[in-house]
Chain A
Amino acid sequence: MDQKLSLTINGTTIEASPGQTILEVARENDIHIPTLCYYKGTTNVGACRVCVVEVENARSLVASCCMPVSQGMVVMTDTERVLTARKLVVELLWSSGDHNCLQCEKNGNCELQDLVYELGIEKPSFEIAPPSYAVEDTNSMIQRDLNKCILCGRCVRVCNEIQVHEVLDFSMRGSHAKVGPAFDEDYIESTCVFCGSCVDACPVGALTFKQARFKGRPWEIEKVRTTCPYCGVGCQMDLNISDGKVIKVTTNRDYGTPNQGMLCSKGRFGMNFIDSPDRLKTPLIRKNGELKEASWEEAYDYIAKKLTAIKKKSGGDSIAGLSSARCTNEENYLFQKFMRAVIGTNNVDHCARL
């Protein structure tokens, strides 16, 4: 075991392990320090300075997300000096973007909005001067409005360090700084694979799921945890439900393994089939060569009669069943039980081989 060390945060003595940052120790102990650019599992860049705290004997305020703890350290997270610095940061971010919450998808779930409220900022002391980027509208999956971007770099880090798709980066410096794919391409022209992780990571309304636009506000959405129906990784995901429909898919990194909050384009954007108009809605029975709508009773009767007759005449082994690698364990269990116990044959297989 590593040796523990102790420090005080806001007057309370706390145990910590060497190498932990002030922020990590504070979070472990339920002490609130706001952050913006910090994103768990990626490089700590210390870019936004919202997480600053006062450390005794340090000349200036320190970014708690980057500063490792040390023995005997004395940390204050909410002094006047800290709050003034945080306000300044937030006012600058507010004034340098188009933060009109009226029609923003992030309204109610925006980390910048939360900070403005937490710090009680009536209005920024700087003139509001947003850039005038065109809202990117060239694909149906991810909407990009860089006028709301606070340049925290979380999208860049999740794309490079977590999903390792290596699409996003910063371009230019200073007041022209911008995030996006190389050569200033739109997402759809770039090597982006539409995993959507950058949208999950974005703290503000700069990156949003376009298909969910105007389909439900954060407090109207119910999230249902489930498992992706596509490949064998079995990613854990939240279906976001509003008005009885799946409007988007998000992740929760706290669900941990197997996907640690990652998804691919199929799990993220492959859900439109659920409420496709082509879904089968009633049983169908072929009559005079054509499939016609029928009731469940008619369908069950038809199948039961026919299968029973074949079984009687030619034996259970003249009937076979194909179960499915797409259905649940419970359904596969019942299907093979049906074939073996009811039909009386072991002629049951599925497309595992294909």
Chain B
Amino acid sequence: MTNSIEEIEFTDAILAIGTNTTENHPVIGSCVKRAIRQRGAKLIVIDPRKIGLVDYADIWLRPTPGTNVAVLNGLINVIIDEGLYAKEYVAERTEGFEAMKKAVAKYTPGHVEKITGIPADNLRTAARIYAEAKSASILYAMGITQHSHGTDNVKSCANLAMLCGNVGIEGGGVNPLRGQNNVQGACDMGALPNVFPAYQQVANDDARARFEKAWDVSLPAKPGLTIMEIMDAAHKGDIKGLYIMGENPMISDPDLTHVEASLKNLEILVVQDIFLNETGQLADVVLPSACFAEKDGTFSNTERRVQRIRKAVEAPGEAKADWQIISELATKMGYAMQYASAEEVMNEINTVAPSYAGITYGRIEEGGLQWPCPNVEHPGTKYLHRDKFSRGLGLFTAIEYRPSEEVPDKEYPFFLTTGRVLYHFHTATMTRRSEGLVERCPESLAEINPKDAEKLKIKNGDFVTVTSRRGSLKVKASVVETPPEGTIFMNFHFSEAAVNLLTNPALDPVGKIPEYKVCAVKVEAA
């Protein structure tokens, strides 16, 4: 997030796009609802599904799945057309406005209505609410990123926010809500193929030289493969050994059939986890990890706040903390990693990751600090781009709407869109072992609109067969108004109805994120 969670409560308008906040980030959902109920903040919801926040919205735009770029360009078009944009801010702090303006010119409300199904007047109303607010915050999540045009979606959000002077101010911002507890931290720490900790490029000679010195070893300059590329390479036999820590690609990756074949093709698969999950079952070696309650460390939340976890109970059997396992294995392989505690690892991070330099265990004992925090006197950074953008001027990007890779046709007439539900998390290895959560949500359900159910002659609770070009599965139908006609929604928590047998591995060319939010399926009574 460019801004902080607490700022949501003091902003004048919130635009929530592609985020089912009350289920996926429930506490932020509560902040949004409080802003509305207690201070009269305005809420714009943009989502094909009738999500929980819709009940609190001043206006709800319901686009056809996969058409967010057209919606955002449409909002921008109206704001420019009606002269509602922050002219001074655009002139002083940004560049590329003219090209962007030209690109959105054809996205008139009428044209956008044709692409997205959103009535032109609703688009205008939403544009005015966003533009006229003193400060307005854009919240988004996987509904923006998990598309073959995810990067375009993100850039379009940035265009809209900059246009109205909402970046670099309190209560504003472009705020991605991270799904998993430490996605932010995993990226910050360089668990990415192209960057070292704190986003220093591996291909950059100076950066590499710094790490070679710090780690006393020579380092490869060529950026590595992304997760989807790793799977492909394993399939081809180019990747022969794979070490997986704390992930379960056998449920979370798109096109599971392909993933399974890839993993089976390896010479060695090492899986390190707290449970023997679906991926571990294919492993040659499985290493038992301690869970978050059994070790010390830090997580970085979605607002860049680095917070402590603390050892509260003993790990079962011989399980060890992941940091310990990696250190011991490295030492075994002839590269000494000797750390007496997680804190000692953080001390090293402080010296190699400039944005974390001032974040020490001593300072975060009573509460987290937000990076960038360049030294131990620095109070941390509540919101980014305050006086200028990281790159100097904020850059508008001219973006054209592109349809999703796979849209419904005669044979596969439904949109399938995927996501999470309130009571489960990711591949549910943890939540399905919690009695209360299972009580509340015991099984996978495919949400289907009553009108579609009627056509297919199915009732609530009936089983349906859902088939895509990649696979087929049986799942219980939940007949509800949440999805629009022609769209079904499934979660990816349950391995019995592993929705990623169906999803499309089409990737965003830049973000390399699979298109989980849109593919085409057929639905039949089972």
Q: Which residues of A contact B (CB under 8 A)?
A: 139-141, 161-165, 188, 193-195, 211, 222, 224-236, 239, 241, 244-246, 255-259, 262-266, 269-276, 278-286, 291, 296, 299-304, 306-308, 310, 314, 316-342, 344-354
| CB neighbours of B240 from chain A (8 A) | 310, 314, 318-319
CA distance A265 to B241 in the complex (A): 38
B126 at the interface (CB under 8 A from A): no
Residues of B within 8 A of A330 (CB): 297-298, 323, 342, 345-346, 349
Is there a chain A Cβ closer than 8 Å to B511's Cβ?
A: yes
Q: Give a binary string over B314-326; 1 marks a CB under 8 Å from any A CB, 0 the rest.
A: 1011111111001
Say if the beta carbon of B312 comes within 8 Å of chain A.
yes
A262-B30, A304-B329, A332-B186 given; A234·B220 CB < 8 A:
no
Cβ of B480 under 8 Å from chain A:
no
Surface stretch bound by A, among B107-115, B429-437, B449-457, B464-472: B429-437
Annotate B279-320 by CB proximity to A: 1 below 8 A, 0 otherwise. Answer: 011011111110111110111111101111111111011111
Number of interface residues of B (CB under 8 A): 147
Q: In the bound complex, how far is the Cα of B356 from the Cα of A36, in angstroms?
A: 43
B440 on interface, CB distance cutoff 8 Å: yes
B interface with A by C-beta (< 8 Å): 4-6, 24-28, 30, 33-34, 37-38, 145-146, 177-194, 196-197, 202, 211, 215, 217, 219-220, 222-227, 230, 233-234, 238-247, 249, 252-253, 267-268, 270, 273-276, 280-281, 283-289, 291-295, 297-303, 305-314, 316-323, 326-330, 332-335, 337, 339, 342, 345-346, 348-349, 356, 367-368, 422-425, 429-431, 433-437, 439-440, 511-514, 516
Q: Contact check, A299 vs B285: say whether CB atoms are below 8 A apart.
A: yes
The answer on a CB contact under 8 Å between B303 and A258 is yes
B328 touches A300 (CB 8 A): yes
Chain B nearest CB, measured from A137 CB (Å): 13
A301-B332, A326-B180, A333-B345 in contact; A272/B435 too (CB < 8 A)? Answer: yes
Contacts of A317 in B (CB 8 A): 220, 222, 224
Q: In the bound complex, what is the Cα–Cα distance between A320 and B38 (angstroms)? A: 50
Least CB separation from A285: chain B residue: B285
In angstroms, Cα B288 to Cα A278, docked, is 11
Is the beta-carbon distance between A257 and B249 smaller than 8 angstroms? no
B286 adjacent to A342 (CB under 8 Å):
no
Contacts A306-B268, A322-B249, A330-B346 given: A264-B285 contact, CB under 8 Å?
Answer: no
Which residues of the other chain, B, contact A231 by a CB distance below 8 angstroms?
A: 24-26, 178-181, 425
- Selected from B24, B227, B317, the residue in CB contact (under 8 A) with A351 is B227
| Nearest Cβ on chain A to B420's Cβ, whole angstroms | 9
The 5 closest A-B pairs by CB, nearest first: A281-B317, A234-B301, A328-B297, A232-B178, A324-B246
Asked if residues A140 and B301 are in contact (CB atoms below 8 Å), the reply is: no
CA of A341 to CA of B280 in the docked complex: distance in angstroms?
25
**Cα–Cα, bound, A259→B181 (Å):** 14
**Chain A positions within 8 Å of B301 at CB level:** 227, 232-234, 258
Specify the chain A residue showing the minimal Cβ separation from B180. Answer: A325
Instruction: Kindly state the separation between the CA atoms of A64 and B193 in the bound complex, as whole angstroms.
Output: 60
Q: Do A270 and B434 touch (CB < 8 A)?
A: yes
Judge whether B434 and A271 touch: CB under 8 Å. yes
* Inter-subunit contact A282/B318 (CB<8 Å): yes
Q: Contacts A265-B437, A271-B434, A333-B190 hold; do A280 and B423 have CB atoms under 8 A apart?
A: no
Most chain A beta-carbon neighbours within 10 Å: one of B211, B245, B327: B245
A225-B247 contact, Cβ under 8 Å, with A234-B302, A265-B422:
no
Please judge, given known A-B contacts A195-B26, A270-B425, whether A332 and B185 are in contact too, CB under 8 Å.
yes
B241: nearest chain-A partner, CB-CB: A319
Residue numbers in B under 8 Å from A211 (CB-CB): 435-436
Using known A-B contacts A211-B436, A327-B186, determine if residue A282 contacts B25 with beta carbons closer than 8 Å. no
Bound complex: CA of A89 vs CA of B329, how far in Å? Answer: 65
Q: A266-B431, A348-B191 are in contact. Are A325 and B302 (CB under 8 A)?
A: no
Tell me the bound Cα distance from A222 to B310 in angstroms: 13
Instruction: Identify 7 residue pairs between A and B in the complex whose beta-carbon atoms are under 8 Å apart, listed by A's number.
Output: A222-B312, A274-B313, A329-B349, A330-B297, A334-B323, A346-B222, A346-B224
Q: Give the complex CA separation of A161 and B31 in angstroms.
A: 10
Please determine whether B217 and A286 come into contact, CB atoms closer than 8 angstroms: no
A201 to B434, CA, bound (A): 23
CA distance A232 to B26 in the complex (A): 10
> Looking across the interface, which residue of chain A has its beta carbon closest to that of B297?
A328
Chain A contacts for B436, CB-based, 8 A: 139-141, 194, 211, 265, 269, 272
Using Cβ atoms and an 8 Å threshold, which residues of chain A touch B227?
322, 349-351, 353-354
- Select which of A139, A285, A300, A327 is within 8 A of B439 by beta carbon: A139
**Would you call A258 and B230 a contact (CB within 8 A)?**
no
Assuming the contacts A264-B26, A354-B252, asked whether A333 and B312 have C-beta atoms less than 8 A apart, the reply is no
Asked if residues B224 and A349 are in contact (CB atoms below 8 Å), the reply is yes
A72 to chain B, nearest CB (A): 33
| B177 contacts across to A, CB distance below 8 A | 232-233
